Amino acid sequence: MRLYNQFYIDGQWVDPIEPRKLDVINPATEAVCASISLGSAADVDLAAKAARRAFAHTSQSSKQERIEMLEAICAAYQNNYSDIADAISEEMGAPTKLAIEAQAATGIGHFAKALEILRTFDFEGVMGNSRIIKEPIGVCGLITPWNWPVNQMACKVAPALAVGCTVVLKPSEVAPLSGYLLSKVMEEAGVPAGVYNMVNGDGPGVGTAISSHPEIDMVSFTGSTRAGTLVAQNAAPTVKRVAQELGGKSPNILLDDEGFEAAVTRGVAHMFQNTGQSCNAPSRMLVPAAKMDTAIRVAKEAAATVVVGDPKAEGTTMGPVVSELQFNKIQALIQAGIDEGATLVTGGVGRPEGIDKGYFVQPTVFANTHNEMTIVREEIFGPVLTILPYESEEEAITIANDTPYGLAAYIQGTDTKRVSQIAKQLRAGNISINGISGDFDTPFGGYKQSGNGREWGEHGFTDFLEIKAISGL
């Protein structure tokens, strides 16, 4: 069992001020796999003050110094790559292949991209009679979730350090193992003391302290919309900048043209990736009403190919959801779908056949749904797909936009002109066409209650920068 009971503050591993242990549960076995400490406002205060002291010199560091720091981080990350992938699989149930090829890969991907961008990024320019300077905003509080743990940590930490900020990171207490290993990477890379700090804890104990601390200048939060509003409220008295990447209920519009069956198969596979635990998952599949029967048949066939089981077993394509809390929430929502009259195509309540332990959910597909149903309105964050009919493209767009969220949307179709016209009318931050998603250069973020600000690539630098205009020189 892993014992990760210290925090990383001011370049050292330190004990919590008030010891308070938390067991970390392996969701595949329901057994305790690690022990961490839950921090407090006092621990956050130490970290924030260390970050403030470090900011005095880090904010004045040269671009070359930061390039060398990111190079060292990339090298240290690569040295620890397999351990990070293994930790991700253990803490949140990702199948080994997914943990290695996607989950852990995003971490090194964001640091490498930040390094590439930094090499040519212009921090100064001229507009009119003024010199415009982009400066680091200051001490940044980073609060990250459990579903893509390293991805969300790296896409915040990398740009913050690249532009000269210092950070206080709170990984999710549900899946904290990879955050601990990322801190070891920072130590191994020789990141200067106080530049990177990590305090484990829960939302009330550490998240609230970060978002309200007077020495923290901005907060970057990824998580639920409910928690995001609390972060913003806590940050308001100190007028912090708050960047938020929140929930989603993304539509996947399938057009009535060639490749329809392949599009259904692709949409089902995407929905069940990471056990449906992605904020941009294509959870609402919109199909022409006349094609509903075909969609049902193909979706059922595609769902049957999903292999649910031990994340470490060869051939497993879908592991458990992350916790008992999530499992119970998803079961209740599946039952709500049944109770509200949706057509249960496959799956349903209870664990998959032959599995009696672990937080495993059946790959579930509902059809003949509509936007007033609970399973269509709420973010389920599990392997549950809903299929909705539409009569016209105009209706499809209306249905797609009829949600408080606006993180992502998907369109499947061969007519480029039609697809382009639909894409321009969707109120979402990321639009993917025919299964083609963005890369590490693509800005990631949402409209409406899916948040504000953008992460990834050059756009990811923006939230960590202040703009200064100097006139008269």
Residue numbers annotated as active site: 245, 279
Sorted by sequence, the CB contacts under 8 Å of residue 272 that are 6+ apart come out as: 303, 306, 317, 318, 363, 383, 385
CA torsion 321→325→329→331, rounded to 10°? Answer: 60
| Neighbour-count burial of 263, counting CB atoms closer than 10 A to its CB (0-12 exposed, 13-18 middle, 19+ buried) | buried
| Rg (the chain; Cα; Å) | 23
Q: Give me the helices (H) in 208-323, please.
A: 208-212, 225-235, 260-272, 292-304
Residue 433: count other Cβ atoms within 10 Å of its Cβ: 16
DSSP state of 291: G
CA distance 379 to 228: 15
**3-state secondary structure at position 267:** helix
Nearest to 55 by CA among 149, 187, 194, 259: 194
* 445 contact partners, CB below 8 Å, separation of at least 6: 245, 407, 429, 430, 451, 452, 453, 454, 455
Q: Which residues contact 8 (CB under 8 A, 6 or more apart)?
A: 14, 183, 186, 187, 196, 197, 198
Counting beta carbons within 10 angstroms of the beta carbon of residue 127, is it exposed (0 to 12), middle (13 to 18) or buried (19 or more)?
Answer: exposed
Q: For residue 431, how far is the Cα from the chain centroid?
A: 17
Nearest to 337 by CA among 283, 298, 260, 405: 283
Residue pair 400/423 in contact by the 8 Å Cβ criterion: no
In angstroms, the Cα distances linking 280 to 173, 262, 265, 431, 463 are 22, 20, 18, 10, 21
C-beta separation of 76 from 185 below 8 A: yes
**Surface-to-core class of residue 3, CB atoms within 10 Å of its CB (0-12 exposed, 13-18 middle, 19+ buried):** exposed
Three-class secondary structure of residue 243 per DSSP: strand
Closest CA to 382 of 448, 328, 340: 328
- Beta pairing class for 2-4 and 31-37: parallel
